[in-house]
C-alpha cells in the first residue's frame, strides 16, 4: 500500500539534524525538543498552508514504543507534537495534540529492517481511539524512512473513521536507488 496523502518534512535526515535527534532520543537531551518542535511546526504550517487547512486541527503523533517511553521517561514524538502545537498556536494556527494511536502488540526495532520487513513488522500494530471534533487531522513523527509507520497509522486512523489529511515530520531519510531500508 502506498501513501496517497501529502507529506511535508522540514528537511533531510542528515547532519546536523540527525545528531540532534539522536542526542535527544538516545541521550535524553530534552532541551533539543524545543528546536525539533519548531522544525516540526514549520512542516505542519507548510502543509496546512499548501492544503488550505483552516479551523481546528488535530496533530496525532506516532506513538513511541512503551519500552522507549519507560526508558526515556517521556513519549518523544508526543513531546515534539506538543512543542510544535505551542509554536503553531502562537502563530495563530489552532492545533491540539491528541494521542489517539496505541500499540496493540510489540514490534521489532526497525533500524536494520528492509522496507518490506518494516511493513510486515508493523502490520496491524496500531489502533486508534476516538478523536475530539476537528476540521483537519495530521499525523506527525520525527523521521520518515520508508513510510511503513505512517502507512500503519493511516490504516488505524482510517479504520476508526478518522482519515488524516496529511503527514508532517522533522526530517526524511534520503534513500538511494536500490536501498529499501
Q: Which three cell numbers stand for residue 19?
A: 545528531
Class of domain 7-172: alpha beta
Is the alpha carbon torsion for 159, 161, 163, 168 positive or negative? negative
SS3 170: strand
Cα–Cα distance, 129 to 32 (Å, whole number): 30
pLDDT of residue 1: 44
Tell me 142's DSSP state: E
Q: Indicate if the pLDDT at residue 20 is higher than 50.
A: yes
Positive/negative CA dihedral, 10, 11, 12, 14: negative
pLDDT at 175: 66
**Residue length of the chain:** 181
- Whole-number pLDDT of residue 152: 94
Q: Are 77 and 30 in contact, with CB atoms under 8 Å apart?
A: no
Whether residue 45 has pLDDT greater than 70: yes
What pLDDT shows up at residue 22?
94
Give Cα separations from 54 to 72, 114, 147 (angstroms): 35, 37, 26
Nearest to 137 by CA among 82, 91, 98: 98
The answer to whether the beta carbons of residues 7 and 150 sit under 8 Å apart is yes
Q: Where are the domains of the chain?
A: 7-172
In the structure grid, which three cell numbers stand for residue 181, read together? 531500508
pLDDT in tens, 136-145: 999 999 999 8
Identify the CA nearest to 168 among candidates 23, 42, 51: 42
Give the tens place of pLDDT for each residue, 81-114.
Answer: 999 999 999 999 999 999 999 988 777 676 676 7
Confidence bin at 122 (pLDDT 50/70/90) = confident
- In the prediction, which pLDDT does 181 show? 42
C-alpha cell at 44: 505542519
Amino acid at each position: 500500500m502506498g501513501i496517497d496523502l501529502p507529506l511535508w518534512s522540514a528537511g533531510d535526515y542528515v547532519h546536523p539534524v540527525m545528531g540532534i535527534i539522536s542526542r535527544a532520543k538516545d541521550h535524553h537531551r530534552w532541551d533539543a525538543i524545543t528546536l525539533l518542535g519548531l522544525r516540526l511546526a514549520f512542516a505542519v504550517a507548510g502543509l496546512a498552508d499548501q492544503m488550505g487547512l483552516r479551523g481546528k486541527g488535530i496533530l496525532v503523533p506516532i506513538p513511541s514504543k512503551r519500552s522507549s517511553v519507560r526508558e526515556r521517561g517521556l513519549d518523544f514524538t508526543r513531546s515534539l507534537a506538543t512543542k510544535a502545537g505551542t509554536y503553531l498556536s502562537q502563530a495563530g494556527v489552532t492545533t491540539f495534540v491528541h494521542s489517539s494511536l496505541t500499540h496493540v502488540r510489540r514490534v521489532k526495532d526497525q533500524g536494520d529492517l528492509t522496507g518490506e520487513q518494516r511493513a510486515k513488522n508493523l502490520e496491524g500494530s496500531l489502533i486508534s481511539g476516538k478523536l475530539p471534533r476537528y476540521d483537519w487531522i495530521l499525523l506527525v513523527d520525527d523521521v520518515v524512512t520508508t513510510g511503513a509507520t505512517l502507512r500503519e497509522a493511516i490504516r488505524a486512523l482510517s479504520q476508526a473513521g478518522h482519515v488524516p489529511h496529511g503527514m508532517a515530520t522533522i526530517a526524511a531519510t534520503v534513500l538511494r536507488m536500490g536501498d529499501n531500508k
